[in-house]
Amino acid sequence: MAQCFFILVTTTIAHVPRKPQPKTPAKSQPKVPAIIVFGDSSVDSGNNNAIPTILKANFPPYGRDFPGGRPTGRFSNGRIPPDFISEAFGLKPIVPAYLDPEYNISDFATGVCFASAGTGYDVATSNVLKVIPLWKELEYFKDYKKRLRALLGDQKANYIITEALYVMSIGTNDHLENYYLNPLMQARYSIDQYQDVLVGTAENFLRELYNQGVRKFSLGGIPPMGCLPLERSTNIIRLRGDTCVEKYNMVSMSFNAKISSLVPKLNKELPGFRLVYANVYDLFWEYIHSPADYGFENTGRACCATGRFEMSLLCNQLNPLTCADANKFVFWDSFHPSERTNKLISETLLKTQLKQFF
């Protein structure tokens, strides 16, 4: 979400009111009492709508394939992974944003999202576009616990907190929107050192959540960053427009190896903690390099606008080039996957890493 592109926008896009959320069909007893989400735009269901940042997605064509066809603040044409995961576990088909005024603590009892588009493990990352830092997501969670106890009583609230499945996806912005755009950061740390700082922050965050009663947690890795349409389009050393930037893919793999090492460590050191690693890198790699196997036709260009560098305000209804069928695209905008990609990722994770929580 490189900030240099946002200054090009002069058109003001109004927020479009939403229709009521779809009703959840009758199902058997849920496998977990709630889905609780931390992270960035890959899992933000609309918290950025409520804060003074330019990084929003609450206008068309975002949400055009969401139930009701309305934008919600999700950086997608439709639903995002926590929505699909929630539905698969027998809960609501969407996970609402904590700062969304349309919902209250009763709605949040079965699922809530604290994620904020543009944020990262590093507080400096959230400062780039003035979004919610990870420490603030934690504060919102603590506030949520108090409100949940006031609503349901200690026993039931504690049950929800302990038995809920927690999902976190974060880390891409730390690299692409902070480290590689900040010469001072690069002078202070090598990329290897900076990743160690990020992983240390992640470990502290997970330990604090454990102290808050969290026991079931899915920790997401980051995608092959060099294959994002934005990075393909803006990297001047690329050989072709459809060529992934190998440097950034290597950085992604390095970070994923470091962050996934927390899984055996914390599962051993924290009694009762069930931490799993969600390997999204390999899934994206498969979709991008074997698209026909998954029904995709476009991998290097996104659906919205020209598909090269547009996201947030640059991905808007005024651009006539947006594709007719987002299901044929791995990416919806230059940084975020399409709803179909989100669905495929979720289905695979539910059959693999998340299977133990059913």
Active site residue ranges: 41, 333, 336
d(CA 243, CA 238): 6
The Cβ of residue 20 has, within 10 Å, a number of other Cβ atoms equal to: 8
Instruction: Confirm if 327 and 298 have CB atoms less than 8 A apart.
Output: no
Residue 267 Rama label (left phi>0; alpha psi -120 to 50; beta): alpha
Q: Name the helix (H) or strand (E) containing 168.
A: strand 165-169
d(CA 242, CA 109): 44
Gyration radius from the chain CA atoms: 19
| Phi, psi angle pair for 337, to nearest 5° | -70, 160
- List the alpha helices (DSSP H) in 212-317: 229-234, 246-260, 262-269, 280-289
Beta bridge pairs of residue 38: 168
Instruction: Confirm if 177 and 91 have CB atoms less than 8 A apart.
Output: no
The HSE-up count of residue 146 (CA atoms within 13 Å, CB side) is: 6
